Amino acid sequence: MPTPEPPIADRARDARLAIARHLADLHRLHLALAADSRALKRFTTEGRPGIEIEIAAEMLEQYLAASDAFLENMRGRFEARLGLLRRGEPAAGGRPEDAPGHGAFWYGFSRLCAVLRRVARRVEG
C-alpha cells in the first residue's frame, strides 16, 4: 500500500525550508568569496596591484556570468509556467472575484510577474 502524501501545508513548508537552507549555503559562499577578495589586497601591498586587479575582475565576471545564467534559467522556467499558474485562479460558481483567496491569488501572481520583470531587466540590462 503506497504511503499517503503529506498535507499540502507540510509540503509547502518543506519546500520553503529546503530553499532557505540553500540560500543559507549561498550566503556562506558569499562570505567566503568576500573573505577571499579581501585577501587579494596582499598582492597590492606586495607591489603587484595588477595581480589583484586581474583576479578581482575574473572573480566578478565569473560570478556575474553564473548569477545571470541562474536567473535566466529560473526566469524562463517560471515564465513558461505563467499560463498554467494563471489558470489556477480560485473560482466560485464561475465568478472568480467572489471566490475565497481570489485577491491573495492575484497579489501573489502579480508579485511573481514583477519579480520576473526585475530579473529580465537585470539579465538583459
Q: How many angstroms separate the Cα of 12 from the Cα of each of 7, 8, 108, 112?
A: 9, 6, 15, 17
In this prediction, residue 6 carries a pLDDT of: 86
Which residue has 502524501 as its cell numbers?
A: 5
Residue-wise pLDDT tens digits, 1-58: 778 888 999 999 999 999 999 999 999 999 999 999 999 999 999 999 999 999 999 9
Q: Look up residue 9 and give its three cell numbers.
A: 501545508
Q: What is the DSSP string of 41-52?
A: HHHHHTT-HHHH
